[in-house]
Amino acid sequence: MDLNNLNTQLKKLTNHFLSEKYDYVISNGKVLLAKYPFSSYLQNLIGSSYQKIGHLENAENHFQKAIKLDTNNIAAINNLANTYKSMHEYLKAEELYKRVLEKNSKNINTLINYGNLKIELFKYEEGINFLSKALKIDDKNIFANYNIGMAYLDLGKNSLANKHFIKTLEINENFTYADQKISTFTDYTKNKDHLLKMINKIKNEKIRKNEKIFLHFALGKAYEDIKDYKESIKNINKGNKLKSEYTNYDIQKDLQFTDNIIKNLINVDFNKIKLKKNEDKKYIFVLGMPRSGTSLLEQILSSHSNVYGVGELPFLRKLITKNFNFYEKKIISLENNTDILNQISSNYKKYTSFFENKKKYLLDKSPLNFMWAGFIKILFPNSKIIYIKRKPIDVCISCYKNIFESNLNWAYDLKNIANFYKNHQKLMNFWKEKKINFYEITYENLINNFNYELNKILEYCELPFEENCIDFYKSKSPVKTVSINQVRQPIYKTSIDKYKFYKEEVKIISDILEE
């Protein structure tokens, strides 16, 4: 058996993997696997490629085979744990991370990944502890520094976050994710040092296009702080243009998706579909367009002693789209699929049970859950749904000015943003026609009549008034959205009508919204 040839082929495949040619690695790796079925490394490499393209079940299969071939393949065990984490099988992931650390307590990748798992489950103290252990082993590990910086940023500990983001940039000055995060909490009217560094950095010919994206968004925010709106929008436009080149987004697919939801559900009587055992757990769903005030509402409500806010959970969309294919035009019957609906409800409860919550409500503030208001009515009839909307042009401009962690790929083009907004309005009107019960509030009313609106929201949620909700900005609860720093301030009105500084961009959006 020619092991030299195997090693040569593995090196080539590894190089293709590093070049992000995952489909090539999978197809050619399987050919090689037929000849060398004993290679644990090859199984792990194929699994890693599947993991990169989001085919998690295939990835799981290959990682398991890699571990079976070599029980000491720590890379494969770690990768399988990461796969389970992505599949929300948190207990399985944790068990595997522990297994690696039992073999090697100083495995930095596992310490980082385990720390990130804890943080995802809002166990920040434990997560930071694991990341700190990784830093004690190697204080120049870029991912340990960046991730612990993100943890402190979520907690509102900006000085500690800044320390680790600066360290990240000392390790690699072109790791511009850190620049963008620094920009979110820096007041550039008082401190222009970072602005000057970014201006010099973006002129560097060695900086890559994908690294420029984060710098342009950071510069857009910095120039807005100092009221240089011309330079601000110039950078925002550049950042969005570059980001769009990487997304390959087609708005028509989302528009069709919404049309299919409406066509499929138009004859459904949501009040008649009853599921088993869904009276035991209570949820609050805060939904609406991104940048409409969902984070502010979450921070206000999660300041209440009976509410536990866990940020933007991906569970509901994943569970529904896995079981109901709205990308196709075929008719889907909810009435005849109560077993599936029961399973979705059970799985959602299972995934949210990993958050250690003993309070009356768990709050899920995934904005795009507006797509699933009818499903929420069926799945969790005791839940509270709060829909917040904001002046359309302010929402659209705010989306355009920000870069998002999640795949909101419509947000990097003005026409796409405007069309997506109209699409969201169409769906919300549909839920109203179907008499889905939700509480509707506007961002402007919440800001201008805060005490009155707060009392109305608490009344809807069947929660007694608490002073903590007025002092929400003092809350130590983690915040995981682009609104991190805004929601840690008292109510302010400067975000209303902020679109007026960006006239040309406003016209493009307004023309579509008025069609």
Residue-wise pLDDT tens digits, 359-398: 889 999 999 999 999 999 999 998 999 999 999 999 999 9
Residue 118 lies inside a defined structural domain of this protein: yes
Domain stops at, among 230, 247, 264: 247
Residues 299 and 316 in one domain: yes
Amino acid 193: pLDDT: 92
Mean pLDDT value of segment 168-180:
96
Q: What is the pLDDT of residues 64-92, one digit of tens each?
A: 999 999 999 999 999 999 999 999 999 99
Q: Is residue 510 part of a domain?
A: no
- Is residue 30 situated within a structural domain? yes
| pLDDT score, position 268 | 87
Per-residue pLDDT band at 487 (split at 50, 70, 90): low
pLDDT at 358: 83
Evaluate whether residue 513 is within a structural domain.
Answer: no
What are the structure tokens assigned to 387, written together? 């829909």
Task: Determine, yes or no, domain membership for 507.
Answer: no
pLDDT value of position 280: 60
Q: Bin 207: left if φ > 0, else alpha if -120 < ψ < 50, else beta.
A: beta
Least confident of 98-107, 114-123, 400-409: 400-409
Mean pLDDT score across all residues of the chain: 92
CA 301 to chain centre: 20
Q: Residue 472's pLDDT is what?
A: 87
484: pLDDT strictly greater than 70 = no
pTM over cut 0.85? yes
CATH of the domain at 90: 1.25.40.10
- The pLDDT assigned to 330 comes to 67
Please tell me whether residues 396 and 454 are part of one structural domain. Answer: yes
| Bridge partners, 388 (sequence order) | 441
Whether residue 403 sits in one domain with residue 320:
yes
Strand 361-364 to strand 439-442: parallel, antiparallel, or no bridges (unpaired)? unpaired
Q: Place 242 in a pLDDT band, splitting at 50, 70 and 90.
A: very high
350-361 per-position pLDDT tens digit: 999 998 778 889
CATH code: domain of residue 406 = 3.40.50.300
Mean pLDDT over 269-291 rounds to 84
Q: Which two tokens stand for residue 382?
A: 């005791």
Per residue in 458-478, pLDDT (tens digit) is 999 999 999 999 988 888 777
pLDDT at 205: 85
Q: Check residues 515 and 112 and name the one with the higher pLDDT.
A: 112
Note the pLDDT tens digit of each residue in 286-338: 999 999 999 999 999 999 999 999 999 999 999 999 888 887 766 677 888 88
- Write the CB contacts of 63 (distance below 8 Å, at least 6 apart in sequence): 43, 44, 47, 76, 77, 79, 80, 83
Residue span of the structural domain in which 218 resides: 3-247
Q: Where does a domain end: 214, 231, 247? A: 247
Sorting pLDDT into bands at 50, 70 and 90, what band is 248?
Answer: confident
Q: Which of 200, 217, 247 is the last residue before a domain boundary?
A: 247
Q: Domain check: are 218 and 166 in the same one?
A: yes
> Rounded distance, CA 231 to CA 225, Å?
11
Residue 1: is its pLDDT beyond 60?
no
**Does the pLDDT at position 278 exceed 60?**
no
Q: Is the dihedral of CA 418, 423, 425, 428 positive or negative?
A: negative
CB 464 within 8 A of CB 409: no
Number of domains in the chain: 2
Residues 451 and 395 in one domain: yes
**271 vs 26, residue with greater confidence:** 26
Same structural domain for residues 366 and 438?
yes
CB count in 10 Å sphere of residue 95: 12
363 and 448 housed in the same domain: yes
Q: Is 129 helix (H, G, I), strand (E, B) or coil?
A: helix
Q: Is the pLDDT of residue 276 over 90?
A: no
Instruction: Please report, for residues 240, 292, 502, the alpha-carbon distance to residue 511 in angstroms, rounded to integers and kept in the order given.
Output: 20, 20, 14
Q: Are 243 and 255 part of one and the same domain? A: no
| 511 within domain boundaries | no
Q: What is the DSSP letter of 172?
A: -
Report yes or no on 502 lying in a domain: no
Look at 228-232, 310-314, 495-499 and tell me which has the smallest mean pLDDT: 495-499
Mean pLDDT of 15-37: 93
Residue 451: CB atoms within 10 Å? 11
